[in-house]
Structure 1
Amino acid sequence: MAGAAVLPYNSIMVWIPLLLVACAVTAVACARLCRAAIAAGGPGAGGGADAELTLGEAAFLAGGPGRVTDLTLVSMHRARRLLLAHTGWATVVDGSGGDELERAVLGAIGPEGQAPVPGLRPAVAAAACVRRIEEGLVARGLAVPAPGRREVAAGARAVRGAFLLALALGAVAVPLVPTAERAQVLAGFALPLTASGLCLLLGRAESYPRSPWASHAGQRLLAGLSAEDPLTALATRGPAVLEPELRAALGPR
């Protein structure tokens, strides 16, 4: 009887500390992600709700600097200032004039007049005119500042790590206890696993089709834009709305 009385205590000493570690890590990770998501969302009302967006601003809010580059390339292609080949190369047809974004694209292509599209994105994203678009949107409360985006991404990584840690600790704990007690161990580890899994699912539901670049106010403005115009549809919905040849020209993102 003494042995029977000691066995449950020893079993508890094996798996309860592991469960406490999993619960603590999960709680900290979920709290971090929730705080970051709330802060990144910006004000729930107001915050630029009466503002208007240019196409470049809408593209940035919906897809960041890469979407701005895609919009500019397609706009120049349709205006016959640039030729986008299905092989993924951009060739300059008319290098005169244009706005700041078009000049940034031409500068990224260089004097040879031809460049692969994937290589243009980082160059255009670093252009001063794109940075000014971002700074203006952040100042108006329509875009999430870069530190906020980084914190949300770090919070999501922390929650995924907490989920994997709870899974690993549960897998370690189950074989260490008698068969009769394993259901209790599984039920215990279901708590941090469920919490971290739900946190990730809720975060994904909140951000899809939300863009990580736009605040709540920016999202409302994007939702109010009509997609009837092809360039507006490209800005807000991405290259999926383009014909296959242009999708191939823009290449992977």
Structure 2
Amino acid sequence: MFWALFLLPAWAVAGSACLRLCLAAVRAAATAPEAAGDDRALTLYEAAFLSGGPRRVADLTLVSMARQRRLLLAHTGWATVVDPRGRDEMERSVIGAIGPGGQSRIAPVRAAAAGTEAVRGLADRLVGAGLAVQDGAGSIAAGVRRVRLAALAVCALAALALALPVPSDLPDRLVALWFALPLALTLGSLLIARMEVHPYSRWASPAGQRLLTALTRRPGAPADDPAQLTAVALLGVHAVGEPDLRAAFAHRERYLEEPAAPGH
């Protein structure tokens, strides 16, 4: 019965992951259709949050200000304030994240702006409207990732139980059959999730995903999108058409120390 020492954690991992996925699905389904505002139009900030979370909102704000020549984003990865008067709370958050010197690397600005009260307020409003999930860590997408990892863990534990040269009172095929049960639980949960709630979103509720889908199919740009920023809100900075802007954001995740001069 030595193999049972591996079977018990396999069941624990599989059962816990599947239970958390079910709870996430129940929370998502609990959103009342009438409270979710399926007929409302998303602003660009809302679309950015539902598509990519707080950092997507920061990216959208940076790109929007850069295209209006109120913020300079250099290809070296530095942001310089040109117009210190933010036109809304998101822009003021970005300017505040850059600091009183008016210049900073984009990566820390993006991280700081994503954690401001303005973005948290946006998230709270979307959650209250039934368009966003309460917490990205408790979303269906996170639950699906946990179940996938649980399936891999079950396979690893089964392989370990079969590989160890320990005498067993059961033949290997029966031991493998016992491990096939928690594996079937995880794979069945993934199949049901695929059929019922795909595509998975870390930030948007099912109602929020429907509005995002409507936004992608809507001809033309929203009224608050004079610079055609919808693609940036939905897809991120990879959708930026200007090579200089793309180069500026290429530095956002791999800066080390701030040099003495930005070298614009």
Q: Normalized against structure 1, the TM-score is what?
A: 0.79
Query: CA shift at 1:176, angstroms?
Result: 3.2
Given the alignment of the two structures, is residue 181 of structure 1 paired with residue 168 of structure 2, yes or no? no
The match for 1:248 is 247
Larger Rg: 1
3-state SS of the aligned residue for 2:80? strand
Alpha-carbon spacing, 1:249–1:127, altered in 2? closer, same or farther (3 Å): same
CA offsets, 1:62-98, max 9 Å, x none?
Answer: 1111111111111111100011112111111222352
3-state SS of the aligned residue for 2:58? helix
Given the alignment of the two structures, is residue 72 of structure 1 paired with residue 61 of structure 2, yes or no? yes
Query: CA shift at 1:165, angstroms?
Result: 4.2
The match for 2:33 is 45
Contact 2:45 2:233 in 1 (8 A): yes
CA offsets, 1:86-143, max 9 Å, x none?
Answer: 2111111222352211111111111211111110122212222212211111111111
Alpha-carbon spacing, 1:91–1:202, altered in 2? closer, same or farther (3 Å): farther
- Higher-helix-fraction structure: 1
Matches within 5 A, 1:8-157: 13-16=1-4, 18-40=6-28, 42-43=30-31, 45-46=33-34, 47-146=36-135, 149-152=136-139, 155=143
Percent of residue pairs bearing the same amino acid type? 51
Query: CA shift at 1:185, angstroms?
Result: 2.2
Query: CA shift at 1:39, angstroms?
Result: 1.1
Query: CA shift at 1:234, angstroms?
Result: 0.8
3-state SS of the aligned residue for 1:136? helix
3-state SS of the aligned residue for 2:33? coil
**Where do 5+ consecutive residues of structure 1 fail to align?**
1-12
Alpha-carbon spacing, 1:154–1:62, altered in 2? closer, same or farther (3 Å): closer
Query: CA shift at 1:35, angstroms?
Result: 1.4
Q: Count how many residue pairs are aligned between Structure 1 and Structure 2.
A: 239
Contact 1:42 1:144 in 2 (8 A): no
Name the CA distance, whole Å, in 2 between partners of 1:41 and 1:121: 32
The match for 1:4 is none
Contact 1:84 1:91 in 2 (8 A): yes
**Where do 5+ consecutive residues of structure 2 fail to align?**
222-227, 254-264
Alpha-carbon spacing, 1:176–1:44, altered in 2? closer, same or farther (3 Å): farther
CA offsets, 1:128-162, max 9 Å, x none?
Answer: 2212211111111111112xx32347745753564
Contact 1:42 1:215 in 2 (8 A): no
Name the CA distance, whole Å, in 1 between partners of 2:244 and 2:193: 34
Query: CA shift at 1:193, angstroms?
Result: 2.6
Contact 2:86 2:95 in 1 (8 A): no
Alpha-carbon spacing, 1:197–1:127, altered in 2? closer, same or farther (3 Å): same
Root mean square deviation of aligned Cα = 3.1
Alpha-carbon spacing, 1:97–1:160, altered in 2? closer, same or farther (3 Å): closer
3-state SS of the aligned residue for 1:112? coil
CA offsets, 1:1-45, max 9 Å, x none?
Answer: xxxxxxxxxxxx343564355235422321222212331455373
CA offsets, 1:206-239, max 9 Å, x none?
Answer: 7875431111111111111147543011111211
Alpha-carbon spacing, 1:98–1:205, altered in 2? closer, same or farther (3 Å): farther
3-state SS of the aligned residue for 2:83? coil
The match for 1:6 is none
Name the CA distance, whole Å, in 2 between partners of 1:43 and 1:82: 39
